[in-house]
Amino acid sequence: MGRNGRRAEGCSGQASPEWIGLALALAAALGALLVVAAPSAPGFAHSVYRSLLCAASLSGGCLERPGLATTYGGEVGRTVKSHAPELRLEDGVLGMPVDFRTCRSPACAEGSGLDRSGSVAGERATLFTRVVDCRAGGAGSGGVACGGEASGNLYLQYWAYYPESSTFRGVPFLAAQGHHPHDWEVTQVRIEPDGTVSQRASSHAGYVHGRSALNWPTDAGLRGAERALETVGIRQRGGWGRWTGRWYVAGGSHAGAASADPSSHPVTVGRDRIRLIPLERALTGPLARPARFDPITPPWRKLVWLDPEAPGTG
């Protein structure tokens, strides 16, 4: 306490914007120097860089991982963990899903090997979770659309962040057009009152269950053609199909599916190796405040954030 009875300002206190900006700039500069000076030890360099980011944020707990039970309650927290997907990635995938608060560059997300749990720079494979509880007595509030098809259901969302995306990777003349920085993808689990568990995954402009050439209307955002396929029973309604507990991810665009040929996705990341972070809580941390993902829309600004049955990914 200070002489006048006020608590003395310490490293956990607030600082001027100028000081924070200077500290962040210093952290970035030192981090860059470490990567250049120690190319053979990217994990060590990136670990020091993360520590510098935390120091610059003036928060000793800037990377603390709030527990699922703390965020969602014991029952829902256990459900989120038990239904987390195993990742199945195509060989040559553009990086691992990482924590956007400490890695927004392809360099720190790059991985190697066919069975791994993180990047060569030391970033853990990470999925951010989101719960939309539309059950009776659930937490469906704050603008959440829990009427109609969503009524009575519990929705679990698992969001993956990648520093870049390349839909037409390797395609002559189109590679540059199909490339953009940042990428957010999601697989969703729906648990109905009778216990039925369904799953779907984001794929370009919509959601699908299995890999199929018939997904083109969804990928292109052609809702009329999509509904026509659903009407004749060729496509699952809303892209929902049986829960598989797996998330198949394309190597370039990261378009996903809940069902696919396993041999075409040889890179495996077991669910026990994936770090789960409640996105609702991560957004309040000091390192999330300057998060920008232009030209991509982040999860909390997408329609599906509040409407779990939304057909589009925008």
Q: Is the pLDDT of residue 146 over 60?
A: yes
Query: Length of the chain, please?
Result: 314
Q: Which residue has the tokens 């057909």?
A: 311
| Alpha carbon 57 to chain centroid, angstroms | 22
**How confident is the model over 194-228, as pLDDT tens digits?**
999 999 999 999 999 999 988 888 988 999 998 99
- Per-residue burial over 273-283, b if 16 or more Cβ lie within 10 Å, else e, is ebbbbbbbbbe
Would you say 106 and 94 are in contact if contact means Cβ atoms under 8 Å apart? yes
Query: Which letter does DSSP use for residue 297 in this model?
Result: P
Task: List beta partners, residue 198.
Answer: 190, 242
Q: Which residue has the tokens 């409640």?
A: 278
* Sequence-ordered list of residues with C-beta below 8 angstroms from that of 286, at least 6 positions apart, any chain: 57, 58, 59, 62
**How confident is the model over 81-139, as pLDDT tens digits?**
999 999 999 877 778 899 998 888 888 888 755 456 667 677 889 999 999 999 986 66
**How confident is the model over 235-261, as pLDDT tens digits?**
899 999 999 999 999 988 899 999 999
Task: Report the distance separating Cα 30 and Cα 48, nearest Å.
Answer: 9
Task: Report the distance separating Cα 222 and Cα 235, nearest Å.
Answer: 13
- Residue 114 has a pLDDT of 45
- Residue 3 has a pLDDT of 40
pTM of the model: 0.81
Asked if the bond preceding 66 is cis, omega within 30° of 0, the reply is no
* Cross-sheet strand order for the sheet of 246-249: 256-257, 246-249, 86-89, 267-269
The ranges assigned to domains in the chain are 11-62, 67-305
Task: Report the distance separating Cα 42 and Cα 56, nearest Å.
Answer: 21
| Alpha carbon 189 to chain centroid, angstroms | 14
Task: Report the distance separating Cα 121 and Cα 188, nearest Å.
Answer: 29
* Sequence-ordered list of residues with C-beta below 8 angstroms from that of 156, at least 6 positions apart, any chain: 79, 80, 83, 129, 130, 131, 188, 189, 191
Instruction: Say how many CA atoms lie within 13 Å of 252 toward its Cβ.
Output: 13
Task: Report the distance separating Cα 270 and Cα 245, nearest Å.
Answer: 11
- Residue 53 has a pLDDT of 59
Instruction: Please give the residue that has the higher pLDDT: either 168 or 132.
Output: 132
Q: Is the pLDDT of residue 62 over 80?
A: no
**How confident is the model over 183-203, as pLDDT tens digits?**
999 999 999 999 999 999 999
- At 251, which amino acid appears? G
- Residue 157 has a pLDDT of 98
